[in-house]
Structure 1
Amino acid sequence: MWEYILARRLQVFGASRRRRISVGVGGAVRGSVGVFLHGTSARHSRGDGAMSQTGRPSWYVRYYDDIASRRYDLLAKLWFIPQGGQGRARRALVDVIELKRGDRILDMCCGTGGATFVIAEKLGEKSKITGIDLSGGQIRVANGKNSHPNVDFMVMDASKTDFRDGEFDRVVIPHALHEMWRDGRLAVLREARRILRDGGSVAVLELDRPPGRLMRLFVALWWFYWLPFNFETPTRRDMVRYGVADEVREAGFRDVTKVSLFRGALQAVQGCKEASIRGGVP
């Protein structure tokens, strides 16, 4: 947490010395949101300083690639304590989604590989698993931890990947959409649909709004929603307001289902890509 506060202060200091923060590192832009849980590979600008795929303030890139990536796993462990620990929470989420041995699986916005490794342990070596994230720092950490011969990690933009149409059987998007505005979320979901085979499925593992007031209060306190400079709070609210399941449907998926876990604090949403009809989109 102290690293995040330091990074934010660096931003404020830099802004006070320059009328405009320098934005953009071209095609080599790297970095990911997800201080408390996961990496993201898409964050689209609304014209108010929010991040985009093609430009990020320099303090932001430095923080996520040079500082947060090294402390990310520790932060994730702290984040998951209320759910009984990181391993238990990730396994519970992965257990409710449809995965089969032999599947070609893409972990979009994989961060340091927390969910990727849980999937690999569940399915064994018969499945080919690929993890992508926009943060070069987090991918370096993931590669350093990787002991699975069937798992690969690479830096890539989740809203515009290099994969072929229909290349994967399953796409998993764990804890990343809450860091994006609506246009970014839909862009990632539509890209997931493009690279899935007909009959393939997407699974979105995300935060949710618990129905109970006490649980909502606890979640807000534990996950730092009360911090005035927590940039995940407005995008999370935007995601909850539109609804993950509804956006998965809007992206073109069918048979969408939702499972709530941990008293409604987390959700797993799945949707299927139906076969094209006469070469068109169903």
Structure 2
Amino acid sequence: MSFQLSGSAPEIYENTMVPLWFGRWAETLLNSVSLETGETVLDVACGTGVTTRIAKRDVGSDGRVTGLDINAGMLAKARELAADMDIIWIESDVIETGLPEDSFNAVISQHGYHYFPDQPAALREFHRVLAPSGRIAMSIWDGHSAYTKALCSAVEKFISPEIAKKQRGQRETPSADRLIESVSEAGFRNVTVARQELAIQVPLATEFVPLHLGSMPIANAFQSLPNEEKEALIADVSDTLRGSVVGDQIVYPDAVNVVIGWK
């Protein structure tokens, strides 16, 4: 499984999903890492760079931050957004990064781990590039939220079970116990998992669903629907979540697991 965006999707992702979802989760992840001025940081699966930019803010001008992603479109947007920041951007997979060993104080990743095709190899690579006593910190969805359940159900009804399976896969993540086991097996010590929850607020389905799906790998499948079927899909999500509407927003709880380990 991978997360690949093309065309206008990276820009929609940055303008819609980052302020509503990923910017908030980036702050909670970095609060867990407690980066210090002057540290070196590798942000893996950095996407359009929201976590990378916040990490650079935290380590200051004396620190060094590298953002790594396999998606050229996402990196292009990341470079554009951080043109005035001293950040290194690398297009690479997560298994053979080519980075020197023992070179980072922290390796971080927001919602990237479950997309890695070979997770044990990726964890070994992160262990290799970390300096002695360096730490890894990764946030991973803790299953589906009420919104993503409603969305995937509507996608299955109005697009196809296959496309719905692809969308659901983004939230099919390891349990906390499995995360501890996997990170420990890669050689990390004192591995812990902390569950974090936020109250998420997004626009009503008529506005948000098209933007959300437009920033996803299944964007073409949604855009290819006849207008009446798009409207039916959106109405289905709206109906399912009618109890979560507060004013002109959908408000619902969402959660991640943050796994932290030390070299």
- Say yes or no: TM over 0.5: yes
Q: Choose 67-76 or 164-173, whichever is displaced more.
A: 67-76
Counterpart residue number, 1:108: 44
Gaps of 5+ in 2: 156-160, 199-253
Counterpart residue number, 1:221: 149
1:70 aligns with 2:5: no
Counterpart residue number, 2:226: none
Q: Please give the alpha-carbon distance, in whole angstroms, between the structure 1 residues aligned to 2:108 and 2:191.
A: 14
Please list, as runs of the form range in 1=range in 2, the aligned pairs for 1:249-264 lying within 5 A after superposition: 249-262=184-197
Name which of 117, 132, 136 aligns with 1:198.
132
- Shift of the alpha carbon at 1:70? 2.7
Please list, as runs of the form range in 1=range in 2, the aligned pairs for 1:42-121 lying within 5 A after superposition: 64-77=5-18, 80=21, 86-121=22-57
Counterpart residue number, 2:3: 33
Counterpart residue number, 1:150: 86
Name which of 242, 245, 257 aligns with 1:267.
257
- Shift of the alpha carbon at 1:138? 0.8
The amino acid that maps onto 1:205 is S
Cα-to-partner distance string for 1:217-251 (whole Å, 9 max, x where unaligned): 515436x4434324253464252387322211121
Name which of 227, 237, 243 aligns with 2:172.
237
1:207 aligns with 2:154: no
Closer/same/farther in 2, CA of residues 75 and 159 from structure 1, 3 Å limit: farther
SS in structure 2 of the partner of residue 204 of structure 1: strand
Cα-to-partner distance string for 1:50-83 (whole Å, 9 max, x where unaligned): xxxxxxxxxxxxxx23342232213424752xxx
Taking every aligned residue pair, what percent have the same amino acid on both sides?
Answer: 25
- Shift of the alpha carbon at 1:165? 1.3
Cα-to-partner distance string for 1:193-216 (whole Å, 9 max, x where unaligned): 11111111111111114xxxxxx5
Q: Please give the alpha-carbon distance, in whole angstroms, between the structure 1 residues aligned to 2:138 and 2:75.
A: 20
Give the length in aligned residue pairs: 200
SS in structure 1 of the partner of residue 7 of structure 2: helix
The amino acid that maps onto 2:125 is E
Closer/same/farther in 2, CA of residues 220 and 66 from structure 1, 3 Å limit: closer
Closer/same/farther in 2, CA of residues 253 and 108 from structure 1, 3 Å limit: same
SS in structure 2 of the partner of residue 126 of structure 1: coil
Q: Please give the alpha-carbon distance, in whole angstroms, between the structure 2 residues aligned to 1:225 and 1:179.
A: 18
- Shift of the alpha carbon at 1:267? 1.7
Q: Please give the alpha-carbon distance, in whole angstroms, between the structure 2 residues aligned to 1:106 and 1:245.
A: 21
Tell me if the contact between 1:97 and 1:268 (Cα under 8 Å) persists in the aligned partners: no
Considering fraction of residues, name the structure with more strand: 2
Cα-to-partner distance string for 1:103-156 (whole Å, 9 max, x where unaligned): 111001101101111112223212100001001111110000114543121211
1:141 aligns with 2:77: yes
SS in structure 2 of the partner of residue 269 of structure 1: strand
Q: Please give the alpha-carbon distance, in whole angstroms, between the structure 2 residues aligned to 1:114 and 1:247.
A: 26
SS in structure 2 of the partner of residue 107 of structure 1: strand
1:187 aligns with 2:137: no
Gaps of 5+ in 1: 1-31, 35-63, 81-85, 210-215, 274-282
Cα-to-partner distance string for 1:238-278 (whole Å, 9 max, x where unaligned): 523873222111211110011111167112111011xxxxx
Tell me if the contact between 2:37 and 2:62 (Cα under 8 Å) persists in the aligned partners: yes
Structure 2 length-normalised TM = 0.67
Structure 1 length-normalised TM = 0.63
The amino acid that maps onto 2:178 is G
**Superposition RMSD on alpha carbons, in Å?**
2.6
Q: Choose 232-241 or 121-130, whichever is displaced more.
A: 232-241
